[in-house]
Amino acid sequence: MTDAAAAFGDLPAYARSLGIEIVGEDGGMPVLSVGFGPMVEGRPQHFHGGATAGLLENAGYAALRTALLAAGRDPQLKPINITVQYLAAGKSKPSFAIGRITRLGRRNANVTVEAWQDDRTRPIATAVMNILMV
């Protein structure tokens, strides 16, 4: 386990079995990454849109859990919805993602997530998630 993973806690089983890892942090939020391989491949040599969505979603939850822990809260999280925008094809190299809390309310949170490959300023996909906290 990396230091960052130790600081941010475990990812869910689905994330671990897809090979998603916490590889660092930026502005206090965890940076998640998944390498390219058969498990994430859609059309040849490209990420499957579903695998990219899985990375985005996990980065969104990891960001929210981080913000909640900092606020001394530990609610159960339930997804309300997610909208994924695909901006560029995910090529056969690692992808990264980080979430940002747009609004943290008492019952719901709005989280924006960005995924990129080798150039942080050229995202391959973004997502907006609404998450219920109970």
Partner 1 sequence: MQRAMNTPPARFDAREASKWFFRHGHTGWLGLRFTDQGDNWVELELPWREDLLGDASRPVLASGPIISLMDMASGMAIWQASGSFNPVATLDLRVDYQRPARERASVRGRVECYRRTRSAAFVRGIAYDDDPDDPVAHIAGVFMTIGADPREANPALRGGGHD
**Minimum separation from the CB atom of position 100 to partner 1 (A):** 19
Q: How far is the CB of 19 from partner 1 (least distance, A)?
A: 10
Locus of tokens 């993602």: 97
Of 10 and 28, CB closest to partner 1? 10
Binding site for partner 1 (CB under 8 A): 10, 12-18, 38-43, 48-51, 53-54, 57-58, 76, 78-86, 89
Nearer to partner 1, 82 or 133 (CB): 82
Say how many C-beta atoms besides its own lie within 10 A of residue 69's C-beta. Answer: 12
Which residue from 102, 19, 91 is spatially nearest to 58, judged by alpha carbons? 19
Q: What is the three-class DSSP state of 62?
A: helix
